Amino acid sequence: MAAEKRPDDAPGLSMLTEGVPTLPPDATHEEREAHWRKHVYQGDRMPQLTFRAVAMGGVLGMLMSASNLYTALKVGWLFGVAITACVMSYVIWNLVRAFSGGRVSKMSILENACMASTASAAGYSTGATMATMFGALLILKGEKAGVNLKTWDVMPVSAVTLFVLCTAALGVFVAVPTKRQMINVENLPFPSGIAAAETLRSLYSEGREAMQKAYSLIIALLAGVVIGIINTGEGTLAFLDRAMNAIKATIFDIRLPELVPEAGLFRVAQDGRIADRGGLQLPGFGFEPSGLLIAAGMIVGLRVSITMIAGSCLLYFVVGPWLIGLDGAAGFEPNIQSVVSPLDPELVRSIKTNGGGQVFQIVHWSLWGGTALMVFSSLAAVALQWRTVGRAFSGIFQKSSPAPGRGADSVEVPVGWLVGGLVPISIGMILVQWLAFDIAPWLGVIAIAMAFVLSMVASRATGETDTTPMGAMGKVMQLLFGVLSPGNVVHNLASAGVAANSASASADLLTDMKTGYLLGANPRRQFIAQFIGVFFGTLAIVPAWYLMVPDKAALEKYPLPSTQQWVAVARLLTEGVHNLPVSARWAILIGALLGVAMPLAERALPRGARKFFPSAMGLGLSWIMPFANSLAFAIGAILAWMWSIASRKAAEKYTIPVSSGLIAGEGMIKAILAMTATVVDLTAAKP
């Protein structure tokens, strides 16, 4: 549990408010707000909500939304875009000024903060559930239909657009009543918000170290673009293949293989024995040369990444081959896709095959245990933060909430905006759920009410720990609708999407508001920038989704760790466990028990020893991701650790900028290439 923090001792606050008189510890809330208004507020002294700031944030956010969509499909993570956008905006605008001969004025620090709010809403908030909820719908409906469904046949573009827009806007407005309590009064850390404020302060001080960080991020971003191009599989785009072949003929082959070794580290025979030849393939069982995956490991760190590779080794070297051997002994004929044993019709194969019976799909079995572990560990972590949950509600209604003050009310988002926004958005959300997903209006009202509650919980968790429990919020809704609408997988997924997307947008707004609070920005203008960003994000993420994932087959080319979680939970709640092999039921039980036990055991350890305890989330992910992903994460984490050993100062200075640049660069170019390939295919298909 995070230690209680007084409003005047939040981390980073003293650094960002040098020269500001210190408030006495017993200052009232009104005095604190008046003090901030007098000594920190800069919103009326410099430009903030300008066309160029919003336009820059919108463009960068649209690019980052495509990048985040790719990373969500690839590794199941969404990476914050605010700091990356701040650095990119600063560098780009300086180049614009240089090319203009200084005729273009410098963008103020508050303009850049406003830009970051727009970019963050566009690049992070709107696409939180695109890959998970709509991906899960495509998988489940495609399996039921037994054909390769087109994405637009599962859900029309208009419904997806309205759903994304309404859920993100709902989250933005839900954050309004909690902002003053969580930021002005309690001054919750929101560490990413502090980091963004520190980044902007450093950039605008024009110190040498700040500029080195900025340009290292840009260089890493360009490197990520190059890596993303040269590790693109042959046959994706004809013009790219021609360019690669020309380079190969004149210089050397620069194309990176999709997997090293190409056929995997080893094969597994029907009896479970490991062999280099003669067995069936295990997909993704090797090293994938990807800067994005290695960079993600650098950010995630040793604890999670080492747990991931350990869990993946356990699955691929021990549990998987053992189950394959049991299947063989039970009478399943080799090299065919039989599901039921000819010796025992009641027995169901644990590890199924595809590709004409030549590929063992270990992850299709292991995702049940991994999903159970992640779901129950997320819920246990939220339960352990019961004080945080309690404060999420008491903070709004307690008598100590800030009373109206002359200074604060003139710049804070008024309650009238909350009412004026929530009423039409809620009506729109109910209509979208009813018309697009056949969710009865009374169930739609419950979904919105729960989204309001869960968004407050998620925002409080983000403020205290810098971790937004989006997945846990979605799972709570899935569990609730498993009771309210049993057997309906569409209702189950859509309701979870409402909760997860709203929680993401709400927590993201408050993180950006923390940045603005430390820099003295006008909250109303920052709120408007964030709201505008929702439209930019929707405009980008919806076509990006349909172009990157034109059908079920295109979706299943990605690892889909988070999407498979949603699929597994929806199946479990709507179909029951009786259709699963017995081994998968045991995996669910063991995963659930570990999911509860691991957070409890971690909490019982001394604080200094917790960093050595295995990560429940990492262990769960290792049974949902291919081995190649876990290996790349571990390589990245070890490289970052070795860098810190060799030069701690350089590692602290460059690890995050370089990692962020690699992720953004490779994610963006991969998304652009995937969309281009779809456009080319659609154009070629026309008579």
Judge whether residue 685 has pLDDT over 70.
Answer: no
What b-and-e string marks burial along 168-191, b requiring 16 or more CB atoms within 10 Å of the CB? bbbbbbbbbbbbbbbbbbbbbbbb
**Least confident interval from 94-103, 185-194, 498-507:** 185-194
Q: Which two tokens stand for residue 163?
A: 């759903």
**Least confident interval from 67-76, 393-402, 554-563:** 393-402
- The amino acid sitting at 597 is A
Judge whether residue 663 has pLDDT over 80.
Answer: yes
- DSSP for 305-346 reads HHHHHHHHHIIIIIIHHHHHHHHHHTTPPTTS---B-SS-TT
DSSP 183: I
Asked if 396 and 407 touch (Cβ cutoff 8 Å), the reply is no
Residue 656 pLDDT grade (very low, low, confident, very high; cuts 50, 70, 90): confident
Question: How far is residue 284's CA from residue 647's CA, in Å, rounded to a whole number?
Answer: 34
- The amino acid sitting at 103 is R
Asked if 666 and 292 touch (Cβ cutoff 8 Å), the reply is yes
Tell me the per-residue pLDDT of 548-564, one tens digit each, with 9 for 90 and over. 999 998 898 888 888 88
Q: Which ranges of 385-522 does DSSP label H, i.e. alpha helix?
A: 386-397, 406-409, 415-437, 441-465, 470-484, 489-519
Question: How far is residue 289's CA from residue 311's CA, in Å, rounded to a whole number?
Answer: 21
Placement of tokens 């999670």 in the chain: 304
What pLDDT, on the 0 to 100 scale, is given for residue 338?
A: 63
- Among 51, 117, 47, 50, which residue's Cα sits nearest to residue 533? 117
Write down the domain spans for the chain: 37-231+411-559
Q: What are the φ and ψ backbone dihedral angles of 223, each rounded to 5 degrees?
A: -65, -40
Average pLDDT over residues 114-119: 92
What pLDDT, on the 0 to 100 scale, is given for residue 403?
A: 45
Average pLDDT, the chain: 82
Judge whether residue 348 has pLDDT over 50.
Answer: yes
Asked if 222 and 657 touch (Cβ cutoff 8 Å), the reply is no
**Least confident interval from 111-120, 130-139, 253-262, 622-631:** 253-262
Question: How far is residue 521's CA from residue 464's CA, in Å, rounded to a whole number?
Answer: 22
Average pLDDT over residues 613-628: 87
Tell me the per-residue pLDDT of 505-535, one tens digit each, with 9 for 90 and over. 888 888 888 888 888 889 899 999 999 999 9
Placement of tokens 């507020």 in the chain: 41
What pLDDT, on the 0 to 100 scale, is given for residue 309?
A: 95
Across 198-202, 306-310, 495-499, 599-603, the highest mean pLDDT is recorded for 306-310
Q: How far is CA 377 from CA 280, 311, 431, 466, in A?
A: 34, 16, 34, 17
Residues with Cβ within 8 Å of 385's Cβ and at least 6 positions away in sequence, in order, are: 1, 461, 464, 465
Judge whether residue 455 has pLDDT over 60.
Answer: yes
Question: Over pLDDT 90: what percentage of the chain?
Answer: 18
Q: Is the model more confident about 440 or about 405?
A: 440
Burial class, 238, CB count within 10 angstroms (exposed 0-12 / middle 13-18 / buried 19+): exposed
Judge whether residue 473 has pLDDT over 60.
Answer: yes
DSSP-based helix, strand, coil % in the chain, nearest 5? 70, 0, 25
Going by their DSSP bridges, the two strands 359-360 and 353-354 should be labelled as: antiparallel
